[in-house]
A and B are shown apart, each in its own frame.
Chain A
Amino acid sequence: MHPFARLALAVSSSALFFKHDLIHLALSLPIIFGAYLFTGKARLLLMCMKMVAPVLVISAIVWFVVYLDFRTLDFGGAWLRTFDRTSHFVELARTVEFTSVIFLLLRGIPDGEILPTLRRMGATHFLATVFANAEAQVSTISDSALQSYTALRAQGIMSPTWLSKCKNLGRIIAVTWTASLNVADARRETKWRRNGFYSHQTANLERAAVSTNRWETSVALVAALFFIVTNVAGLEIVENVLGSL
């Protein structure tokens, strides 16, 4: 995907916040699904859904409980208030839609191309370098955190209770930190006075090519256009079409 198409999709997805309406929110959903599927990022879509589904489900349940009147046990009323077009849960859903687009744009960058892609998207060299380095470390940390959690559970050191998790917070942090960060490398880089680390990256950046796929770029641009049409430019058209149906 061309960096310009990424930028266009990112900017156009902010149109989701222009209209606080359930219809437009629902219309944006197929665009996002389409963008994922037509760019061949089905696995990324699954990963994204695994990430956002618990947030949405937990929020829906909590809001349902908050709205539920325990004296009358009006389940229907609580359900309607939870999914009302102006409800906070719908706001959260809109946020999740927006962030799922950002997820596609950033996680969809091929390995090793974050730095040149960000540069071509307009980020400064320092920002792009920091982002690329941090992203590399964070990917390792996320995996390590899951592994540390599983390891502590498997060894019987931590039980699934909340109290046990609190007691073992230090252990999880320590194991994750030790397992994930290659401190030696970082220190070596820091102490490497006048080294070629930064300039090397600069030199590589000038030569680095970003893999741009025409199909992916076209899909991203079409999705960006749809976002603008459904949320900003053609509200009346969309409403008329929906009304006629």
Chain B
Amino acid sequence: MRNRLEANGPTSVATITALCIALNVALGTIVYLIKLPVYLDAVGTIAAAVLVGSTRTKGFLLSSIVGSISFILSVMAFNPVLFFFIPTQIAIAAFSSYVIRPLLRSYVLDGLLTSRRGALVLGLGVVLGIVAAVVSAPFIAYQFGGITGSGASLVVALLLKSGSTLFQSSCLRVDFGAGRQDFAAYTRSCSGKGYAAAH
């Protein structure tokens, strides 16, 4: 996979990067369309961080591009507030490139998901969720007060109404779940015979 991507040069990198952006926006659009209180708009960013680029830093740069362009396009497509969550995507890209990539790249490439790997994936997903929450919470809390018109806003409203503080509510909105679900979704898509056969 790596050799093939490197050998094809900028064409394949540009194509894969564009596909990862499309993946981000596709899942984001669907979740936004049916107003689910979860986020799946970082799957492409994680995929780019793990798969694209010969080094971690290149992976980080490319996945940051994926995350940033995804959210710029999402602003044009469906959600006008996503522009301010580009730093969250960059944080996810950094975590995925520098922490997840070295731990899981070989696992992802051989396409097998054992119970030990599953536990590692879940653990990393939880940590990724925390990273995403910590980075997005200040933006959500102080820019929008936690309510951005998405399904997750209802959770924040409920928490605010129950007496939680703004920052607590913003942290507790489904960002924890978001990271986990993004990462779990990505890992599911990479595991199994289909992925192994294709690569």
Q: How far is the CA of A8 from the CA of B123 in the complex (A)?
A: 46
CB-contacts of B7-29 with A (<8 A): 7-12, 14-19, 21-22, 25-27, 29
Residues of A within 8 A of B127 (CB): none
Interface readout for A177-194 with B: 1 if CB under 8 Å, 0 if not? 100110000100111111
Check A181–B22 contact: CB distance below 8 A: yes
Stretch at the interface among A53-61, A205-213, A223-231: A53-61
* B112: Cβ under 8 A from any A Cβ: no
Interface residues in A, total, Cβ within 8 A: 61
- Centre residue among A130, A149, A166 by max chain B CB count within 10 A: A130
Residues of A within 8 A of B76 (CB): 102-103, 106-107, 135
* A88: Cβ under 8 A from any B Cβ: yes
Q: How far is the CA of A195 from the CA of B15 in the complex (A)?
A: 13
Residues of A within 8 A of B157 (CB): 62, 65-66
Residues of A within 8 A of B191 (CB): none
Min C-beta distance of A188 to chain B, whole Å: 10
CB-contacts of A197-223 with B (<8 A): 197-198
Q: How far is the CA of A137 from the CA of B15 in the complex (A)?
A: 11
Check B14–A130 contact: CB distance below 8 A: yes
Check B11–A192 contact: CB distance below 8 A: yes
Q: Tell which of B9, B30, B78, B147 touches A173, judged by Cβ atoms closer than 8 Å.
A: B30
Check A138–B73 contact: CB distance below 8 A: yes
- Centre residue among A56, A58, A177, A180 by max chain B CB count within 10 A: A58
Interface readout for B43-73 with A: 1 if CB under 8 Å, 0 if not? 0000000000000000000000100011011
Min C-beta distance of A147 to chain B, whole Å: 11
Q: How far is the CA of A63 from the CA of B81 in the complex (A)?
A: 16
Check B21–A130 contact: CB distance below 8 A: yes
What is A's interface to B at a CB cutoff of 8 Å? 51-52, 54-56, 58-59, 62-63, 65-66, 87-89, 91-92, 95-96, 98-100, 102-103, 106-107, 126-127, 129-131, 133-135, 137-139, 141-142, 145-146, 149, 162, 165-166, 169, 172-173, 176-177, 180-181, 186, 189-195, 197-198
Q: 17 more A-B contacts (CB under 8 A) besides A55-B148, A66-B160, A138-B25? A: A89-B145, A92-B144, A95-B81, A106-B72, A106-B76, A127-B65, A127-B69, A134-B18, A141-B26, A142-B29, A149-B34, A172-B33, A173-B30, A176-B26, A180-B26, A190-B11, A198-B11
